[in-house]
């Protein structure tokens, strides 16, 4: 792994070159523009799978969660807009809403050829400025980064009518995801019959709707969500397996053990040990 990291007051520039790399699911508390200089691989953004390629651009919001797996050697450039980059809170909320829903539907940014070419030139100019450390470069870099945001924002807002229609669909998905997270410790409420009744749709429809919009089955998403909660409790608390089992609504410890074995391929003890060592590494 070869990387460079430049830290400024309101933003950061991070470049990383990876031959083979798997980045686990994570999220940030800032906006991040991600530019793929070269390479191919998988980018899972909000549980939706994308095949990234050379010159792809993503704008990630604080609400997004994602992970990577390289298929070919890849060079990533990350422009990180720290919380103090924007002075207007309303603007932050508008940008976050616009791009969070865009990411749920599209993932990488779809720009006209002329605007995409412009964005790439600006990104490369920013990278040149940070490496040469010229006088006044911080002010220039911040201005260039703001220009990128506004160009991308303008394009995302062009078809506002279509966006609103799409956003309505995403809001429905958001509601379902919130329901799952809220009831993750109540397995009986996560059965298709109960969820279909709650959302006033047929049993078949809710499963098909979820699969169509998130490219993952409802059952698999619930399993992934429950495993994330278990992982948090195992790595960040001293709760016993029995206590975690009770907290998450498992019938008994035996069912909890089988869930861990089926989901991870190892016993709860081994899984907790792996999480511990993973935490030590970083």
User: Where residue 281 falls among pLDDT bands split at 50, 70, 90?
Assistant: low
> pLDDT digits over 26-78, tens only?
888 889 999 999 999 998 887 778 889 999 999 998 888 888 889 999 999 99
Mean pLDDT calculated for residue range 227-243 = 87
The domain locations on the chain are 2-158, 164-281
- Average pLDDT across the chain, whole number: 84
Q: Which residues face 76 on adjacent strands?
A: 16, 36
Phi–psi pair at 76, nearest 5 degrees? -105, 140
We find that the CATH architecture of domain 164-281 is Orthogonal Bundle (1.10)
Instruction: Please give the span between the terminal C-alpha atoms of the chain, in angstroms, as a whole number.
Output: 15
CB 63 within 8 Å of CB 98: no
pLDDT given at position 280? 57
CB 242 within 8 Å of CB 235: no
Fold of 2-158: Jelly Rolls (2.60.120)
pLDDT given at position 236? 79
CB 88 within 8 Å of CB 149: no
pLDDT given at position 105? 61
CB 208 within 8 Å of CB 219: no
Tokens encoding 48 = 């939706």
């Amino acid at each position: 792994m070869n990387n460079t990291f430049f830290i400024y007051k309101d933003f950061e520039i991070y470049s990383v070159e990876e031959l083979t790399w798997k980045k686990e699911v994570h999220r940030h508390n800032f906006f991040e523009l991600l530019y793929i200089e070269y390479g191919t691989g998988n980018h899972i953004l909000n549980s939706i799978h994308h095949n990234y390629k050379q010159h792809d651009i993503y704008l990630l919001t604080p609400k997004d969660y994602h992970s990577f797996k390289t298929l070919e050697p890849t060079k990533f450039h990350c422009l990180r807009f720290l919380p103090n980059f924007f002075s207007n809170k309303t603007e932050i909320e508008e940008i976050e809403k616009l791009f969070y829903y865009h990411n749920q539907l599209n993932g990488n940014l779809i720009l006209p050829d002329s605007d995409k070419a412009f964005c790439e030139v600006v990104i490369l100019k920013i990278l040149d400025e940070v490496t040469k450390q010229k006088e006044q470069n911080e002010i220039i870099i911040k201005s260039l980064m703001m220009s990128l945001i506004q160009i991308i924002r303008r394009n995302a807002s062009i078809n506002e009518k279509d966006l609103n229609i799409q956003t309505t669909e995403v809001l429905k998905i958001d509601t379902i995801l919130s329901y799952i997270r809220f009831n993750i410790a109540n397995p009986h409420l996560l059965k298709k019959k109960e969820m279909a009744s709650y959302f006033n749709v047929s049993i078949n429809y809710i499963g098909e709707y979820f699969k169509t919009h998130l490219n993952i089955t409802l059952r698999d998403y619930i399993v992934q969500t429950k495993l994330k909660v278990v992982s948090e409790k195992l790595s960040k608390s001293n709760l016993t397996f029995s206590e975690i089992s009770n907290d998450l609504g498992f019938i008994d410890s035996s069912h909890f053990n089988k869930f861990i074995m089926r989901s991870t391929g190892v016993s709860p003890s081994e899984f907790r040990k792996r999480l511990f060592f993973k935490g030590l590494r970083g």
